């Protein structure tokens, strides 16, 4: 079932959504405090140039302004576009296996730096500092991570997400699912995220009064 947009500021790229169903947080790599009032989930592809622009330019500013102070939790979901990005699924596997060893975000940064091309040197360079288990990582890379990646891809299809990066911003309900308030897609500048996140953090009453 596709999200139903209830209002939109199309010229400013601000879109407010109320999906028929909350977004599951299964198969999601998280960064930030679990008690943060707002969560932003991104669907991304390690070989996508627009995703790289966001990861290297915009995301660090969002982390500094919202994640580090405890206002926002960021979640990453895989959406490898295999028909146009031949290395994307293997890169997603590497990131997912690194997540199981507590090093998702280190692998995330390295994969975007290498344009989504995974090779064993990334493990050697990144994971030993985390006291990671190389044998377990290699077993994971033999196909064990596929399930979580496919879950994320299926979730994206259910939500009508067809391009990367796509972002959902909202609050977690009592069972830990994301109730979406805003959505963005593409390599938007930090200022657009800042505008949406300020509204989200301020809460629905403030948002209503600002209209």
Kindly report, residue by residue over 54-112, the tens digit of the pLDDT. 999 999 999 999 999 999 999 999 999 999 998 899 999 999 998 988 889 999 999 99
For β-strands 38-44 and 14-17, DSSP reports them as: unpaired
Residue 147 CB neighbour total at 10 angstroms: 11
Q: Tell me the pLDDT tens digit for each residue of 6-31.
A: 333 333 444 444 555 789 998 899 99
Return the closest-CA partner of residue 92 out of 70, 116, 62, 109. Answer: 116
Q: Tell me the pLDDT tens digit for each residue of 175-195.
A: 999 999 999 998 899 999 999
CB 39 within 8 A of CB 171: yes
Residue with tokens 């600002």: 210
Task: State pTM to two decimals.
Answer: 0.85
The pLDDT of residue 102 is 87
């Amino acid at each position: 079932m596709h999200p139903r947009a209830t209002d939109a500021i199309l010229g400013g790229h601000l879109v407010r959504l109320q999906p028929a169903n909350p977004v599951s947080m299964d198969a999601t790599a998280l960064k930030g405090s679990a008690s943060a009032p707002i969560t932003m989930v991104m669907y991304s592809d390690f070989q996508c140039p627009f995703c790289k622009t966001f990861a290297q330019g915009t995301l660090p500013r969002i982390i500094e302004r919202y994640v580090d102070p405890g206002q926002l939790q960021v979640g990453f979901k895989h959406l490898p576009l295999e028909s146009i990005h031949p290395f994307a699924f293997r890169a997603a596997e590497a990131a997912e296996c690194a997540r199981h060893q507590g090093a998702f975000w280190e692998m995330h940064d390295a994969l975007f730096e290498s344009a989504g091309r995974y090779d064993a040197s990334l493990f050697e360079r990144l994971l030993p500092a985390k006291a990671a288990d190389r044998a377990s990582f290699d077993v994971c890379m033999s196909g064990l991570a596929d399930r979580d990646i496919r879950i994320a891809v299926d979730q994206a299809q259910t939500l009508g997400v067809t391009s990367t990066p796509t972002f959902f911003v909202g609050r977690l309900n009592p069972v830990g699912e994301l109730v979406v308030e805003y959505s963005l897609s593409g390599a938007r500048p930090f200022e657009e995220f800042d505008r949406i996140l300020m509204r989200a953090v301020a809460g629905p009453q403030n948002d209503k009064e600002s209209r």
